[in-house]
Amino acid sequence: MNITEFEQRVIDQKPVESGHYDSEYFTGDWRAEGNNYNLETRRQIEAKNPSLIRDVFLPKKVLDLGCRGDRLCREQQATGDAAGV
């Protein structure tokens, strides 16, 4: 996929009703390879993100908007100042 195709996919996205994100969405077994939203799984999948944020952007502080459960914030606080909304 090139950048033009990626941009078109972003533009083509349709709104999703909030009811789509129910407890089955976050805790169900429908994802491949045990990928779910529990803290340990997210830590394994997203473990590199706090370091990437720190190393690439060199932030003094991090604000994570829409941070369901503060997962990124918990990890980011270990490497710097972070808050979630």
Question: Does 13 map to a domain?
Answer: no
Residue 43: give the domain boundaries.
23-84
pLDDT of residue 5 exceeding 90, the answer is yes
Residue 7 domain flag: no
Task: Give the C-alpha separation, 52 to 79, whole Å.
Answer: 11
Residue 11 domain-assigned (yes or no): no
Question: Is 9 within the bounds of a domain?
Answer: no
Domain count, the chain: 1
Is 36 a domain residue?
yes
pTM: 0.47
Phi, psi torsion values for 84, nearest 5 degrees: -130, 150
* Residue 44 belongs to a domain: yes
pLDDT in tens, 57-78: 988 888 877 656 666 676 677 6
**80 lies in some domain:** yes
